[in-house]
Structure 1
């Protein structure tokens, strides 16, 4: 198969869909790989490394899309990229369609097959292609919160770790999944007081055993969320419903009752955000203030560490990508977990949560969602 790797064009995005080491894996399997000039530069991969791995370098994204059958990216396609997709393309990338009807319409009109990293599943019911970036984002969220708490960045002027005799910040993490666990780990490691609000009792037991009492856990009901948000110096939003828009756990009316200069970090922003006042920001302009509360809502947090993120991502995506390269869409007939990643096919929405969020009809062409 002919594999295309365009340069990412979302603002402040430096990751790349395939590092040179992964290109070599595809080439060794007999596939052709076309890489846009400079696609890996932001992550530290020069063009000559791709050439040594067996890729063909092309000058423009248009040429890459024209040559490719399977397009492998990191972030959701931008408007200029929708126009380059056709019904002969398989797109394999993060999509996050639920809060993005414009992108969904672009993909539907293209006729392409769009497979979303974030809805591919595994035998344990997890989201294996979302997990590595969730690990990175959860850790970056704490660093970003610490920076945002500093006075010159609009925060209350609090050091997240405290010092002897002065208490540390209280960090509330909403959601105890991969993002939440990694955020809790980093915050606790810095010495913060950490509480994780989670709705799964088995997961709370896992976190309690994992941290050996170093963090607090609370069951997620409205009273608990409100109480912890109002007590917190930092709130990290780390909730996820696969394929669907994130629930709004912090409302506008809460902000005036929060501590002035406290910080909200919305890691769920790709799925619409879990704070009512969230809107996507960029690494170059990451924060804004509403009612005295600093909001950090960067929509591609792992893009700040593109070398780590690109390598971690491809370790998870490579087995699935190779299946698609070897078998095309027939791979979805034999791999139900990969089939659950299919969000769009031939102008139809093929993931039930995405269809519900977008108000579209749902199609199940590969039986991935049948009992």
Structure 2
């Protein structure tokens, strides 16, 4: 391309995506831990996404629910916690120190200051009182192992204290200390979400103490996080990295320099890969199909998505806040959407018919059958619904 950098085209980027995100049959993982480690982070805002994203990438999807439950709640080898962009993710437990130091500390300081300020405006007890209640709540959680917010409030009644938020504003409301405090403790890395009250699709979680982890220097943690992410998602532009991490551009550039990232040329400009990952990656021997859930980490992995998602498909596949719905993939690109109907049937629609012949439709149908087989009697409705998903589900 005239700049001396190796050009990485769309076909190669899609090949890397297939191999490193475990999407083609030959690339699938054996355990939820293997899937999470390959991706680094699984979106956890919608509880079902975690299971559906893992199931799409397991060699044996029938073990998705029991094995993911084991990893999350028995072995605690995976943990649900706040991470990049103040979003809830599921991470390998070994990554929690890196995630907390690289992305959580700034957000945590802001969240605590906001809570103290909101309480002061409402005439609620001060920061010293809040700290005392916090210590009591953490001690109670240590005794109980895990608990809901209501159960914690029974142990520490001061958690039931209420205060008026945004008095006089159109969005005025009454907040309870336990709800706001648990949120702060979550982003501070002191508590994590534990086992839900219902099934694997439930969003009503118990809380548990966070796994102990060392406090890492922020620059070191940012370098480690970026190294792991580029291993899964490189090449990526600086804009992709800034968006995904939620960092300032100066932090992104410093971390790229620290890990010795190598520049390559992409259709949209300069991209970055790990040192040692510049050589071409061959494409798959056979085309592949996948049905990925709403908020899947592959569909949400980059800010610039035109190389795998045609812009004209976005209005049908995203909600008004930019959350992607369930997507149908063929050979490295999004070609449609899918949904589950009330009777349990998995239905799908092709929105981009280019190159979609009988082979593609048969492969997509097989993936729909594979998904339906392990989901079974469970009914899954995305938390953030999109136009095509709502239409197909009706």
Which one has a larger percent helix, Structure 1 or Structure 2? 2
Bigger radius of gyration: 2
